[in-house]
Amino acid sequence: MSNSNQSNKSAEKSSAVTSTVVNKAGESLLNDTNNAAPTKDSNTTSDFSKLQQEVVSTSKTEADTVISEDRAAKQKIIAEAKAQAQQEDNLSQIDEPAQEATKSTAEAPKQEASDNTNQTQKQSGDKPANQSPADKSKTNKESSMSDNSKTSNLPRRVAILGGNRIPFARSNGPYADASNIDMLSAALNGLVERYELQGERVGEVVAGAVLKLSRDLNLTRESALNTALDPQTPAYDVSQACGTGLQATFAASNKIALGIIDSAITGGVDTTSDAPIAVGDGLRKALIKLGAARNNKQRLSALTSINPKELIDAPQNGEPRTGLSMGDHQAITALEWNISREAQDELAVKSHQNLARAYEEGFFDDLITPYKGLTRDNNLRPDSSLEKLATLKPVFGKRNANPTMTAANSTPLTDGASCVLLGTDEWAEAHGLKPLAYIVHQETAAVDFIGKNGPKEGLLMAPAYAVPRMLARAGLTLQDFDFYEIHEAFASQVLSTLAAWEDETFCKERLGLDAPLGSIDRSKLNVNGSSLAAGHPFAATGGRILATAAKLLDQKGSGRALISICAAGGQGVTCILEK
């Protein structure tokens, strides 16, 4: 209730009380006069009559005077309240453009100072190129953004502000004794240290793993607690096979866009060195029974129930619906699209050459935290050549007439972790960071690889469907990009996808398009290497690709990047970054 309304009510109450007191006093005096004993003295009678008239006249006059004064007071209060409200409205209208002008004036020197600071940091190599001194008065721990900033102008732009990962390592190598929590904690700690997030309550941390032990039940939260982030930072797991890292980013970026949170850290981790060991179902149940036994008799019963065959029979490492491994599935697709061994080897060699060059140029200096003695991905082979790769024997599709997929043009089992930092423009400014790129579109697709409702599609062909949908929604063509970051699960998978987009029949019958999507400029494909060279720790690949693409766009100054990742279960995750 406003102050003017409260004043009006008080005045009305006071007036009513005052009027009542005056009127009753007059009536009481009149009653006393009328009830006085009569006298025979005529003069006395006359005096009483005059007195009665005077009392009546006086009481009414006094009452009318009080009421009149009270009404005037109320009218004055109402007039003053209206004038004050009008004055506040006028001041509010004047302040808005003044505030905008002040903001614009202040931002210019801030931007100039930020640019100068960024240049100094880039030369020193101590901090990421997009980091400048943070304005501590604006951090989300000390002051929250206004409700208007979170609810107006939705959806908000979501910026990639930085990334970090540990070097990827071949399975059963340097990281053989490291757990998922160990590696994800290392990647997160590197990010927190690089961007000075100690004590920061980030909106949330979202990550996941494909291969998880029971102790990894709350993987992301446990890893976040191992960092210097504020322990009140919430964290949770997501999982979508090889698309996990990218899907985790979508989950958090959508919340940022909707104004629910202002910042997030996303990523993924996987280790095949510390993977769960699968056993036969009978042995599993016997071991559970043994663990629940309360006496020796029950323990003996559990042990004698174990069938020796269960020690041998273990679930197959393949797609549950088909029993085929991912590599054998892709070998079928490679045959369908007539992908040659030579083309696959060429792509693999190019990946190694590009990654080696990027390391030499220092591209990954502010994207990688050394871990357990490694400073580079140990799957990298800078001296890789077509002649060397030609000597390798096929490892997938061996039953095919002409198998083409080898260990060199397929990704090896790998251990590693990665993460990226996301935020709004306002959050970035408050923390002295410059956006590297923005996540502007995303698409997830799945294909029928089991022939449930028609012809079977290749297990890893979902990105071929996701990208055209995303392009249509964005109003773009396949050629409208400066960089193409396509996950190299297998060289033949990348080449099959590119061939499908060039194929008129596929684009018309499978995608419902009037014409093929066309070809891409291969010189823009995975320009700093990809999974064939770096390795592929399943859930960690998304974070690696996001950070790489964002930095490429930032270095260029403007442009677009297309990201595509295939995943088990016939799924694909894609997105578009812009600068």
Q: What is the CA radius of gyration of the chain?
A: 38
Catalytic residue among 419, 487, 507, 566: 566
pLDDT value at 385 more than 70: yes
How is 475-488 classified by DSSP, letter by letter? T--TT--SEEEE--
Could you report the per-residue pLDDT of 133-174, keeping only the tens digit for each? Answer: 665 444 545 334 434 455 568 899 999 999 999 999 999 999
CA distance 430 to 135: 5
Neighbouring residues of 115: CB distance < 8 A, sequence distance ≥ 6? none
pLDDT value at 14 more than 60: no
pLDDT (mean) for 388-411? 95
How is 453-471 classified by DSSP, letter by letter? SSS---TT-HHHHHHHHHH
Catalytic residue among 242, 419, 507, 575: 242
DSSP 311: G
Could you report the per-residue pLDDT of 30-40, keeping only the tens digit for each? Answer: 344 444 444 44
Preceding omega of 167 cis (within 30 degrees of 0): no
**CATH fold of 326-367+378-414+436-578:** Peroxisomal Thiolase; Chain A, domain 1 (3.40.47)
The model's pTM is 0.75
Q: Is 145 exposed, middle or buried (0-12, 13-18, 19+ CB in 10 A)?
A: middle
State the DSSP H helix or E strand holding residue 427, giving kind and residue range, or none if neither: helix 425-430
| % of the chain surpassing 90 pLDDT | 67
Do 137-270 and 326-367+378-414+436-578 have matching folds?
yes
pLDDT value at 116 more than 70: no
Query: What are the tokens at 485?
Result: 């970051």
CA distance 244 to 546: 12
CA 200 to chain centre: 16
Q: Is 122 exposed, middle or buried (0-12, 13-18, 19+ CB in 10 A)?
A: middle
CA 156 to chain centre: 12
Tell me if residue 518 falls in helix, strand or coil: coil
Which band of pLDDT confidence, cut at 50, 70 and 90, is reported for residue 130?
Answer: confident
Based on the residue annotation, tell me whether 536 is a catalytic residue of this protein: yes
Q: Greater confidence, 263 or 16?
A: 263
Query: What are the tokens at 422?
Result: 């996301």
State the DSSP H helix or E strand holding residue 306, giving kind and residue range, or none if neither: none
CA distance 173 to 73: 89
Catalytic residue among 329, 431, 487, 536: 536
Neighbouring residues of 455: CB distance < 8 A, sequence distance ≥ 6? 448
Least reliable range by pLDDT among 189-203, 268-282, 548-562: 268-282
Residue 72 pLDDT: 62
Could you report the per-residue pLDDT of 215-244, keeping only the tens digit for each? Answer: 999 999 999 999 999 999 999 999 999 999
Residue 306 pLDDT: 85
Alpha helices in 125-243 (DSSP H): 147-151, 180-194, 219-225
Which residue is associated with the tokens 């202040």?
106
Least reliable range by pLDDT among 95-99, 150-154, 344-348: 95-99
**CATH fold of 137-270:** Peroxisomal Thiolase; Chain A, domain 1 (3.40.47)
CA distance 56 to 158: 81
Neighbouring residues of 371: CB distance < 8 A, sequence distance ≥ 6? 166, 167, 175, 183, 186
| % of the chain surpassing 70 pLDDT | 73
Which residue is associated with the tokens 């005045």?
11
Domain ranges of the chain: 3-102, 137-270, 284-311, 326-367+378-414+436-578
Neighbouring residues of 292: CB distance < 8 A, sequence distance ≥ 6? 298
Question: Half-sphere exposure (CA, 13 Å, Cβ side) for 332?
Answer: 13
User: Residue 147 in contact with residue 246, Cβ under 8 Å?
Assistant: no
Could you report the per-residue pLDDT of 68-84, keeping only the tens digit for each? Answer: 555 666 566 666 666 66
CA 342 to chain centre: 40
pLDDT (mean) for 194-201? 98
Query: What are the tokens at 145?
Result: 């953004």
Torsion sign over Cα 520, 522, 523, 527: positive
pLDDT value at 115 more than 70: no
CA distance 544 to 375: 15
Tell me if residue 230 falls in helix, strand or coil: coil
pLDDT value at 519 more than 80: yes
